[in-house]
Amino acid sequence: MRSSMKLPLRPSLSRAAILQILALIVLIGVLVYQQWQILHLKTGFESAANLETVNAITQRINGVDDRLDAASQLKSVTIDDFRAGQQALSNRIDAVQALLKQVQEAAKDAALQGASMQEVVVMGARIEELQVKLQDLRAVEAASAQVTAAAKPKTPPSSRKSTAQTKVPEAPPPFSVVGVEYRGGERFLSVAPPGSTQLSQLNLIRPGDMVAGSNWQLNSLDDSRALFSINGSPRILPLRP
């Protein structure tokens, strides 16, 4: 006779084990739901932060627009007022540059925080507009510098020129001119020591001669004047008729 073989029976789960499994499933569901709620809240917070960032950037850009519009509305003023406002214009440009840098940094932060592409593009366009306005202000500043330079009074001519034009009185000759004398049809110039009236001290010279005791050489002679050369420099002495 063949012996019959019996298969082992699977152990049946107890009621306590079934309850534990159900409790674990419920706990997992609760955890998943809580995680979903946390993710939803985080997304909401990030959206709110992005919105606040965009609003803040928009307010800053509007402030920059107002300042640039006020700076570009220049009225006709006097040269003194123009000079006084030149430094204020330079300071305003520096302030606008600093604010523009802050706006650019805020735009980068907004892009990193997940702002929409449209918002980033709009902010980039506004930044470019501010940069163009800054260039216009710099051009105005450069033009004001040129106007100020052109308005400066010209310096009076140096006194050296007038001094050079003033003629220095010539030193008197180291002799006295007595007159012109003729000897054998030749013209001579009669000279004597300064202040002398003695005939024995008279000296007759003709063109080419040197006056004794001096560096004066007679070059030419006529009835009205005598031309001397003093170390190569000409000197004319008028003759009394």
Please report, for the domain that includes residue 209, its CATH number. Answer: 2.30.30
Range of the domain at 220: 167-238
Confirm whether 116 is domain-assigned.
Answer: yes
Residues 50 and 133 in one domain: yes
Domains: count for the chain: 2
Is residue 15 predicted with pLDDT exceeding 50? yes
Residues 144 and 175 in one domain: no
Confirm whether 35 is domain-assigned.
Answer: no
Q: Which of 165, 26, 157, 52 is nearest to 115 (CA)?
A: 52
Residues 118 and 182 in one domain: no
pLDDT, position 217: 93
Among 95, 120, 151, which residue terminates a domain? 151
Q: Which of 50, 45, 48 is nearest to 123 (CA)?
A: 50
Confirm whether 133 is domain-assigned.
Answer: yes
Residues 82 and 107 in one domain: yes
As a whole number, the mean pLDDT across the chain is 72
**Cα–Cα distance measured from residue 63 to residue 52, given in angstroms and rounded to the nearest whole number:** 17
Among 84, 116, 151, which residue terminates a domain? 151
Model confidence at 17, pLDDT cuts 50, 70, 90, reads confident
Residues 222 and 176 in one domain: yes
Confirm whether 160 is domain-assigned.
Answer: no
Amino acid at 186: E
pLDDT, average across residues 204-208: 91
Confirm whether 110 is domain-assigned.
Answer: yes
Among 151, 185, 200, which residue terminates a domain? 151
The answer to whether the pTM exceeds 0.85 is no
Is residue 187 predicted with pLDDT exceeding 80? yes
Least confident of 62-66, 77-81, 115-119, 159-163: 159-163
Confirm whether 17 is domain-assigned.
Answer: no
